[in-house]
């Protein structure tokens, strides 16, 4: 199948498929006489793998490692689990950071009456007049 069909079948845009090939995440695709890239079932599986990993927040370099493990039928599952749990930690830390930001800002907003008057604890907080 051509790149557009592969894109439709996997949810990865044609643009990104070419990009993944360019950065070495995928091997160079087979080509037809016309120069068009030609994809098979194995390619579609790899693209779906990449897309799911991206949906789980893995970076492209992390995915490169996961793909290598995936293709290595003899890999130890311990290695995969280690990578996955390290990533879980990173995701949870980012989530905590965002929640803390939201909480701080919500507290500031709670003290702002939010009407036509100009005084505003949110701006005062950002200016450092408190907190």
> Which residues are near a copy of itself by CB under 8 A?
45, 48-49, 52-53, 55-57, 66, 69-70, 73-78, 80-82, 84-85, 87-88, 91-92, 94-96, 98-99, 101-102, 104-106, 108-109, 112-120, 122-123, 125-128
Length in residues, the chain = 131
d(C-alpha 20, C-alpha 6), whole Å? 13
Classify the C-alpha dihedral 61-67-73-76 as positive or negative.
positive
Q: How many residues bind DNA (CB under 7 A)?
A: 21
Burial class of 73 by CB neighbour count within 10 A (0 to 12, 13 to 18, 19+) = exposed
Rounded to whole angstroms, how far apart are CA atoms 90 and 86? 6
* Torsion, CA 45, CA 16, CA 98, CA 118, rounded to 10: -150
> Which residue lies nearer to a copy of itself by CB, 12 or 108?
108
- Tell which one of 10, 26, 27, 35 touches DNA (CB under 7 A): 35
Q: Which of residues 27 and 128 has its CB atom nearest to a copy of itself in the complex?
A: 128
Told to check if 32 binds DNA by CB under 7 A, we report yes
Which residue among 9, 11, 19, 120 contacts DNA (CB under 7 A)? 19
Binding site for DNA (CB under 7 A): 2-5, 13-16, 18-19, 29, 32-37, 54, 59-61
């Amino acid at each position: 199948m051509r790149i557009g069909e592969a894109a439709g079948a996997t949810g990865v845009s044609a643009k990104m498929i070419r990009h993944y090939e360019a950065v070495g995440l995928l091997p160079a695709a087979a080509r037809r006489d016309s120069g068009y890239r030609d994809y098979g079932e194995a390619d579609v599986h790899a693209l779906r793998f990449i897309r799911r990993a991206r949906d789980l927040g893995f970076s492209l370099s992390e995915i490169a490692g996961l793909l290598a493990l995936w293709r290595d039928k003899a890999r130890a599952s311990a290695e995969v689990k280690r990578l996955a749990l390290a990533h879980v930690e990173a995701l949870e830390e980012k989530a905590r950071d965002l929640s803390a930001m939201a909480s701080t800002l919500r507290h500031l907003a709670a003290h702002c009456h939010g009407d036509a008057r100009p005084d505003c604890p949110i701006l005062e907080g950002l200016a450092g007049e408190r907190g």
